[in-house]
Structure 1
Amino acid sequence: MRDTLLAAASPVSHLRSLPNIHAATTVRRVLELVTQLPGPLYDHLVKHPFDLATAKLFGQKAVSREDALL
């Protein structure tokens, strides 16, 4: 997919029709990758949606936990 997007004259058109994603395979792979992350990086990724200091590290705006649930 990466090579196709990089070679395309209009990559956005390719992104409008993505192939089917196999959820079980994707979840399994993500769980494998998460175990390889250093502890501090994992903590930052978990906290960045609602922790202002962590969000700033990623250049994002934090939202409250209540707002995140809406």
Structure 2
Amino acid sequence: MQWTNCDVQGAASTLAWIRSHGGVCTFTPVGRKIIIETLEGPITASLNDFIIKGVQGEFYPCKPDIFAATYEEA
């Protein structure tokens, strides 16, 4: 999922998606960041980052340029 809307509703939608798939996250209104609990500890997702669910069920953010270079549309 790509986080593309940083207003409260857009952030709530992204948070709900992460949580409904077993992830743990919070939203910080100041700076408009999503903090995702990963296997390595908390990592900050910024607007337009992709949120990826890994093979162990973990979630983590991925910058759009890295995502485009790594994955192709199915």
Report 1 or 2 for greater relative contact order, CA contacts < 8 Å, sequence distance ≥ 6: 2
Q: What TM-score, normalized by structure 1, do the two folds share?
A: 0.24
Query: Between Structure 1 and Structure 2, which shows a larger proportion of strand residues?
Result: 2
Query: Between Structure 1 and Structure 2, which shows a larger proportion of helix residues?
Result: 1
Q: What TM-score, normalized by structure 2, do the two folds share?
A: 0.22
